[in-house]
Structure 1
Amino acid sequence: MSLARRGTLTVAVLSLLTLAAGQAAAAPVHAPAPAATAAQGAKVTRIEQQVAQDLARSLSDTGWRSQVRAGVSTGAVELSPLAGRATAPAARQLAATVAEADRRIAGAKGLGLDLGPLLRVQLADPSMRAALDAGAEPLVAAAVGDDHAATVTAYDRAGRTHTLDARTLPAQPVYLVDLDSARTTAAGLKLIGDELARKGLNTPAAQTSPAGQTSTAAAGWWATKVDSIEVSDDEEPWFKGGAEMFALVTGFGQDGKARVDSVTMPYLDYDGTVYYPNQILVNWSNYKYNLADVVLMEDDGDTNYLALAQAITAVLLTIADQGTYIPLVNAVLAALPSSWWTDDPDYVDSWYTLAKNSSGRLNGAAANGWMSVSPYFVQQF
């Protein structure tokens, strides 16, 4: 799925941390840059490409080749367990290689090493199934993160490279090696939440009883619910692997500190499709004011969540509640690793000044999506 608007990540993070006009901009604040470098994110792509080449070479074993063909018959399949169940020496060797690649990817994304299998293999397009079943030799490629790539490198079982047109679906079957982005995104968003909490940000909101006393058992809280949502993109290249969508909601917490809440949106699979999730987007009990901003993003694979968490935390710690929104452009620019200017994570769209009483259709600022929302009271019993 291609929903990204690459090269505009700065806009996404700025909207994440921008506070509404009404006061002159504060003096520049330089946040410490996170440890991750531009090369860090590219590690995932390089690892995927090496695994694609190794998988292609292993397909010289006819029995293992048949097992892979059967494995992808229903969609994406975890590569390490698939190879581990095989008896062919080439497959068993590949299983060990892929398991190590899974661990290296988890490290490159700033996540723990116990996430389990991350790399998957699938047909690039279901229409290739007939040729594959008829005996056509498949090529293997890594799912490319760059939506605007002109070519894609694929490998055959002899290790030779083939340059494929990125905009034309190949006639020859192609296996794509990509990430289980649902698993990595869930772990990454948890890491961001943990990092914010560790720094004293995103603390749970205390509820106030009618008598003015704080209580953890209030009658309920108001929320903004997503009734329907659609994202649009004119280009959807065949070489894209699975992408995971998530939203970042920001505002001032009840304690007066800036906060960010993440919301996973795994159902947003296809462009040009209207979804009706009835999903809670904003829990207003977490926020001091009745305004928040929403940024919709996707992880195409190379996102380093530890670096993202460190960058967001560094900037949030510089923001004080002054009753109005103040842009902290220099602080954000100082915090961003250089790799984020081009690739990861991908900015999709943003919604500014979402209000507690907002309802109806809201178009995104980047004109790449819309959502219909409504106020919703969550009753506590």
Structure 2
Amino acid sequence: MLPFRLRRAVVALAALPLLALGTGQALAEPAPLPAPAGRAPAATRVSVIEDDVARTLATALADPAVRERLRAATAAGAGPTALAPLAAAVSGPAAHGLAEATARADVGIATAKGLGPDLGPLLRVQLADPSMRTALDAGAAPLVATAAADEHARTVRAYDTAGRAHAVETGTLPTRPVYLLDLDTTKTLTAGIDLLQQELRARGLGSATSAVDGSATAQAAGGWWSTKITSIRVNDDEEPWFKGAAEMFALVTGFGTDGKVRVDSVAMPYLQYDGTVYYPNQILVNWSNYKYDLADVVLMEDDGDTNYLALAQAVAAVLLTVADQGAYIPLVNAVLAALPESWWTDDPDYVDSWYTLARTNSGRLNGARGNGWMTVEPYYVQQF
């Protein structure tokens, strides 16, 4: 299993009780590529920032001290390394410039994703594949690339220590060492989930009651019924070496017991690899918070550019127009129509849909698009 077959994705499962929500040299000859210029659209701003830092890191590796520190920090089994503290720990002008650029980038990325500026280090780096370690230890000059958002890309941009851009083919694993730069998506996911919940509730799409703890009525009754995910899998036909780490979350929404639209967010940090079956035993829907016993599910992914504030605003704009009509009305298409156009380009954020999830459902549920499945079961949560 390649360590970077992770999709840089965040999967959003929107459960709606009344609505839808090796081998071979793959390096081309040095061919300077045009650097990103001008103000990028919001949906690509994170990618532009990452690309700028990748070039800065690559040129900093001309300094032996920076190069050795990164080589040691990314030793086998070390996992991704936060870039800002790594750069700050090395002296010299190259490391100082890298530290300043990374600090600015961390704040810029947080802002572009609609998050606060105080999240701390977000950018991290690791060797693209363990097989590159031998060449790296032997002194081979590394390249630096960003973990591409589009898994169908034929090439990725990588920089050498002179700051020159190279087009590296994605079809085969490069023999030249490549460092991959990506986001600490665990940190951005946690902050994003908190922001989503706050913004949706502020817009009247939730309540102060925790989705996990259950409603006050359910607590008084001594417990509540839920739908629990016993296993889940997202399909992926390719296992590219150039993908970044994934973090996932669920949006659970429908009509609350007060007849108003409600949205709850649930973090799914375990769901990292496509093509892998996970057994989380995780509660997806707390039915005590909802008026109806039916739900829809929309599976989404974040390629790294997701703005959580914009997501909350887009979803709220649609759901606030929906009135309780006393019957189940699936609105998957309406929710998808609210998503920004950028979510439908390149590696699409929409993955799959599950219609009419019932509180009594048990067993395997295939996605309508055939791109994923999950097994669920009713589960009674006893209050103590």
Give the alignment's TM-score, normalised by structure 1: 0.86
Q: How far apart are residue 57 of structure 1 and its match?
A: 0.2
1:228 to 231, 241, 246: 231
2:83 to 79, 86, 91: 79
SS in 1 for 2:41: helix
Q: Match of 2:28?
A: none
Q: What number of residue pairs does the alignment pair up?
A: 355
Distance 1:291 1:198, change over 3 A: same
Contact preservation (8 Å) 1:17, 1:316: no
Q: Match of 2:53?
A: 51
For residues 332-353 of structure 1, what are the alpha-carbon distances to aligned partners after superposition, in whole Å with 9 as ceiling and x for unaligned?
A: 63x4332222158722322221
Distance 1:169 1:344, change over 3 A: closer
2:97 to 78, 93, 100: 93
Q: Match of 2:324?
A: 321
In structure 1, distance between residues paired with 2:53 and 2:9: 27
2:276 matches 1:273: yes
Gaps of 5+ in 2: 21-38
In structure 2, distance between residues paired with 1:196 and 1:379: 28
Q: Match of 1:136?
A: 140
Q: Match of 1:60?
A: 62
Question: What are the residue-to-residue correspondences of 1:30-41 with 2, within 5 Å?
Answer: 39-41=41-43
Question: What are the residue-to-residue correspondences of 1:181-192 with 2, within 5 Å?
Answer: 181-192=185-196
Give the alignment's TM-score, normalised by structure 2: 0.85
Q: Match of 1:31?
A: none
Q: Match of 1:29?
A: none
Aligned partner of 2:73: which letter? G
Contact preservation (8 Å) 1:185, 1:299: no
Question: What are the residue-to-residue correspondences of 1:227-376 with 2, within 5 Å?
Answer: 227-322=230-325, 323-325=327-329, 327=331, 333=337, 335-342=338-345, 346-376=349-379
In structure 2, distance between residues paired with 1:234 and 1:18: 33
Q: How far apart are residue 17 of structure 1 and its match?
A: 9.7
In structure 2, distance between residues paired with 1:331 and 1:136: 50
Contact preservation (8 Å) 1:247, 1:295: no
SS in 2 for 1:307: helix
SS in 2 for 1:250: strand
Contact preservation (8 Å) 2:83, 2:123: yes
Q: Match of 1:108?
A: 112
Gaps of 5+ in 1: 21-36, 208-212
Aligned partner of 2:19: which letter? L
Distance 1:330 1:324, change over 3 A: closer
In structure 1, distance between residues paired with 2:369 and 2:333: 19
Aligned partner of 2:351: which letter? V
Q: Match of 1:149?
A: 153
Distance 1:18 1:366, change over 3 A: farther
In structure 2, distance between residues paired with 1:82 and 1:190: 28
Q: How far apart are residue 301 of structure 1 and its match?
A: 0.8
2:142 matches 1:165: no
Aligned partner of 2:301: which letter? E
Contact preservation (8 Å) 2:13, 2:251: no
For residues 222-274 of structure 1, what are the alpha-carbon distances to aligned partners after superposition, in whole Å with 9 as ceiling and x for unaligned?
A: 11111111222101221111121222223221121222222221112222222
Percent sequence identity is 63
